A and B are shown apart, each in its own frame.
Chain A
Amino acid sequence: MDLAYTVKQQAFRAEIRQWLAANVPASPLQSFDTAEGFAQHRQWEARLNEGRWGMVTWPVEYGGRGCDLVDWLIFEEEYYRARAPLRVNQNGIFLLGPTLMEYGSAEQKARILPKMACGEEVWAQGWSEPNAGSDMAAIRARADLRGDRYVINGQKIWSTRAVWADWLFGMFRTDPDSTRHHGLTFILLPLNTPGITVRPIPQLDGLPGFAEVFFDEVEVAEENRLGDEGAGWQVAMATAGFERGLMLRSPARFQETARRLVELYRANRAAAERDPAVKDAVIRAYLDAESYCLATYQTACRLGQGGRIGAESSTNKIFWSELDQNMHATAMSILGARAELLPHAPDAAGVGTWLDGWLFSQSGPIYAGTNEIQRNIIAERMLGMPR
């Protein structure tokens, strides 16, 4: 065990810090759930890619730097420290990217990854359906192979970023006689294909961060299948669950929230101390954010040495989503009567972005597999409790 960064890791940190200092936009971009903000964020992705910072863990030939997971954590620390924009293409780079690396053909990787890395193609995801939420194996949207094309019919819902995205990846039932997780296939398709209707769904903040997607005789070339036909479930599930989780929500994000919470407490000390529970909650926020960081480094190092990870990766989602909710709830307590005010309200001095974060934190225990589903996975697969 050696908990010092190597000279190379320190140099990497210095390099990204310097680049971000010179390139991060001076004022925050608009939300990527608006048309203008989406365009701004797409531009930012292009800029990142010019610096070869789009996805540092990817191989060099796809625009990455071939970095390991510890480098990735360092990158994220600097990224959040610099308050760089959120990643509009997170469905692509964090979720689909690792899956493509493992299951994509050489042709698919060469065709898709570089355009993903530079933000030219932004990805939406298409997992859930109206009757397949937590019970994802109940997927009904059909993809029928006719000649060399799949013909897709059905509906997806809660497709994050689908309103302005270019492509969608998702799972479709290719074997009409199949049930549950058999007979599903992982398919990639351009959202401008004829027969696709995207109906935006406003989220808690009023902005259309996700959408319903309807498919009516949508034709897509067979080459857009990822992995084997009928192997969709395995492709979606088997790929490095931990790595995807780590990329989607790395510790730096929550450590920065914890740091801002400490600042908020100190700036509003008299008000905050009227409720004795608040101080304890701030201490806990710091401890849990640090614990998440330490545990993530430990796992990243173990994986770097060839270790494997199993169902314990399901603990990750519960830990960070509850931490995020708790931190924002504490901030709301400190802000008191101002907490409900929208940032542009005339008397909302000092409220910062806490309300937005509070709203978003409500989604954490729900998306990417509800925390109840994660608890079932932990109990059954990690602890061995009976089904």
Chain B
Amino acid sequence: MDFTFTQDQLLFQASVRDFLIAEVTPARIRAAWETADGRDPALWQQLAELGLAGLCVPEEYGGLGMGELDFVLLAQECGYVALPEPLVHTAMVAAPLLRRVGGYLAATWLPRIAAGEAKVVVGLEQNLLVEDAHVADLLLLQRGEAWYALAPEQVALRHNASVDPSRRLYAVDMKMGSDPFCSGTAAAALTAAALDRGALGCAAQALGLAQRMVDMAVAYSRDRQQFGKPIGSFQAVKHLMANVAVRLEYARAPVHRAAYSLAHDEPGAMRAVSHAKLLACEAANLAAKHSIQVHGAMGYTWEVDLHIFMKKAWALANTWGDTAFHKARIADYIFADGAALGAGATFN
């Protein structure tokens, strides 16, 4: 039993954190809002050069050959800066999916992902819309019990604006004549794998988002003076943030457990992912609620950066499986006959 990350994993996380905080500033995020596609090719290139896009691409395809457990800490850092680029999507969902599919698709696209030359996005029916379909070089699209691999010219996109200006969402229509690369039971397994990885990505980002909002609200509470002292010295304000810290503290381990479960194909992985997503997104939503309160009217403005993080947290909570979906998966397990519950059941 060793529920810790290795020194290498933690050092990698720290270096990626430093890079992201320096490069992905709120100003850069706002600048991207003003561009046509909302994306920043120079930033994507930088991320690829660090090996991040190809982190979960096998070494024979030019990647770093790592897995969910290595990426989960980095996804937290992507959340901390509210990274608009589809890095978590590409590295944590698309690359593992292509690895599973294997064959021609993997051989063609995994090296291009690793080289930073291609963005691959995944569209599930469950998700209503597809994130970043407009910048995808390849779309892996699930429709019923069939999966399609589609080039940009094979689809028609309809943009849907999100509350989070960084999120670009599209309804995708396939043009006639596309054949699925996978169908039936294999397709269902692929759908489940994609959903769980997407949900884990959301959960990990939610941890980072929550931490960022706490940090911002705490900093604001030290600066802002009322009644002749910093508002952070009032217990009513302190306790708002302490409540977030408590929920966040206990959301982390479930996310790490879920990453481990997926990486090791544990039978309870689905449950671990739903647990992680529910707890992490709940913590992020609480962080948003209390951080805007601590910021007062400033928090309700477009100018203050808090909303960059708040809006992403709100969006992630109900995508890649909404709250009802993930709660239902937990309920299906715990209320069934023979569920392993109680002391000693967690790791057995």
Using CB atoms and an 8 Å cutoff, list the residues of chain A in contact with chain B: 1-6, 9, 13, 70, 74, 76-78, 80-81, 251-253, 255-256, 258-259, 262, 265-266, 279-280, 282-283, 286-288, 290-295, 297-298, 300-302, 305, 307, 312, 315, 318-319, 372, 374-376, 378-380, 382-387
Contact = CB atoms under 8 A, between A and B. Distances in A.
B227 interface: no
Nearest to A279: B331
B302 interface: no
A280 B260 contact: no
A291 B222 contact: no
B278 A286 contact: no
B28 interface: no
B346 interface: yes
22 contacts: A5-B1, A5-B347, A5-B348, A9-B1, A259-B343, A262-B334, A286-B330, A286-B334, A287-B275, A298-B3, A298-B253, A300-B3, A302-B3, A312-B245, A315-B246, A376-B239, A376-B242, A378-B242, A379-B232, A383-B241, A385-B218, A385-B233
Interface string B9-41: 000000000000000000000000000000000
A265 B1 contact: no
B242 A81 contact: no
A258 B275 CA distance: 15
B254 A294 contact: yes
Contacts of A290: 254, 275, 346
For the residues of A in contact with B, the DSSP-based class is: helix
A77 B242 contact: no
Interface of B: 1-6, 69, 214, 218, 221-222, 229-230, 232-233, 235, 237-239, 241-243, 245-246, 249-254, 256-257, 260, 264, 275, 278-279, 327, 330-331, 334-335, 339, 341-348
A2 B249 CA distance: 21
A227 B327 CA distance: 51
B202 to A, nearest CB: 16
Contact of B4 (A301, A319, A380): A301
Contact of A315 (B221, B233, B249): B249
Given A13-B344, A288-B250, A292-B250, 10 more contacts: A78-B343, A80-B343, A290-B275, A295-B253, A302-B4, A315-B245, A315-B250, A375-B235, A379-B245, A385-B238
A348 to B, nearest CB: 24
A295 B246 CA distance: 12
Contacts of B229: 386
A307 B218 CA distance: 26
A286 B278 CA distance: 12
A383 B216 CA distance: 11
B245 A305 contact: no
Nearest to B219: A384
Contact of A258 (B6, B237, B341, B347): B341
A185 to B, nearest CB: 31
A387 B233 contact: yes
A318 to B, nearest CB: 5
A279 B332 CA distance: 12
A117 B232 CA distance: 45
A293 B346 contact: yes
B4 A383 contact: no
B246 A318 contact: yes
Given A286-B330, A290-B346, A387-B233, A6 B238 contact: no
Contacts of B249: 295, 312, 315, 319
Contacts of A286: 330, 334, 341
Contact of A77 (B243, B251, B344): B344
B1 A301 contact: yes
A352 to B, nearest CB: 15
